[in-house]
Amino acid sequence: MDNLESQELALLLDPERIPRHVAIIMDGNGRWANRRGLPRIAGHRAGVNPVRDCVETCAQMGVEALTLYAFSVENWKRPRTEIDTLWRLLRFYLRRELPELNKNNVVLRVLGRLDALPAKVREEIDYAEERTQRNRGMRLNLAINYSGRAEILDAVNAVIAQARLAGTLDTLRLDEESISSNLYTSDLPDPDLLIRTSGEMRVSNFLLWQIAYAELYVTDTLWPDFSRTELMRAFLDFQKRERRFGGLVMKDPVPAAIAEDEWIEETAVSSK
C-alpha cells in the first residue's frame, strides 16, 4: 500500500524542482520502542530500514546530497550499552549496505569529529568511504559525533591555521566565504529541505550554518515509521513553497518610481 501511494505521489512531483540537498534529523527511535514496550535498542534497529529507503529513493529521484543526523556530540550522555549498540548497528549497516550504495552509485562521507570514535568504527567508515569514492551519483553524508557549533569552530580554526601557515595571521579577516569553504560540507550546496521526524520543533545543533535558508518540514511520524510515502509528501510540500532567500517574490513587478509615487499619494490622502 505504501509503495503504491508513494508512486502516486511521485507522479505529482516536478522533476525539475527536486531539492538538491536534503537533510534529515532522524528522531523518535526511543519513543517508538517505548510505545511498544521494547528496549530503546529495538527502536534503533528498526530505524535502519528507513535509512535504506531514504537513500535509495533520494538517489533515484535525482537528489544531489542527502545528509542524515545519526549521532550528535551530545549523544555521548546516553547509557554506555546504548552507545555500544549504536556503534555495532553502524558497522552492520555499513557492511550490509555497501553493495547497495555502489549499485546506486552513491558516494559515502561521514561528517563530524571522528577521532573520538572507537577504532573499529573508524576502520569500517574508512573502508566504506574508500570503496564508494569513485561513484559519481548522490552524496550520502552521515553526521556522526557531529555538532553544528563544533563544525563552525573547526572551520574558524582551520582558517586561522591556514593564515598562520601563510604568514598572514596579523591581517586575517574572517568572512562568510572563508568559513563556508572550510565546513565539512564545503563541496556541497546548502540544504534546500530539512526534515525532522517525531514532531519536535527544533534543529538540535544540526548544520546550523548551512540551513540558514532551508525549508523546514516537521512530521509527527517517528523515524522507524518514516516511509517513502512520507518522503514524497515532504518533497511535495517543498515544491508548493516560494523560496525568497530574504527577498520578495512579485508576480507582476511594479516599476520602483511608480510604486513610490503611489505610496506618497496614498500617504498624503490618509493623513488628511
User: CB-based contacts of 136: which residues, under 8 Å, 6+ apart?
Assistant: 105, 107
Cα distances (Å, whole numbers) of residue 167 to 36, 78, 154, 175: 60, 43, 20, 18
Residue 242 has pLDDT above 90, yes or no: no
Number of domains composing the chain:
1
Torsion sign (Cα): 17, 148, 25, 112:
positive
Residue 270 has pLDDT above 80, yes or no: no
Provide the residue range defining the domain that includes 84.
Answer: 2-270
**Averaged pLDDT score across all residues of the chain:** 92
Q: Is residue 14 annotated as a catalytic residue, yes or no?
A: no
- Determine which one of 3, 53, 75, 104 is catalytic: 75
Average pLDDT over residues 101-118: 97
- Residue 266 is predicted with a pLDDT of 58
Identify the CATH number of the domain in which residue 177 sits: 3.40.1180.10
CA gap 75, 25 in Å, rounded? 13
- Residue 4 is predicted with a pLDDT of 82
- Determine which one of 2, 3, 27, 175 is catalytic: 27
- Could you give the dihedral angle defined by the CA atoms of residues 129, 114, 62 and 19, in that order, rounded to the nearest 10 degrees? -170
Average pLDDT over residues 219-225: 98
Helix (H, G, I), strand (E, B) or coil at 128: helix
pTM exceeding 0.75:
yes
Beta bridge partners of 19: none
Instruction: Locate all alpha helices (DSSP H) within 116-255, ordered by sequence.
Output: 119-132, 148-166, 176-180, 228-239
Residue 229 has pLDDT above 80, yes or no: yes
CA gap 49, 41 in Å, rounded? 14
Average pLDDT over residues 182-202: 97
Q: Is residue 3 annotated as a catalytic residue, yes or no?
A: no
CA gap 211, 203 in Å, rounded? 9
The cell numbers describing 105, all together, are 552509485
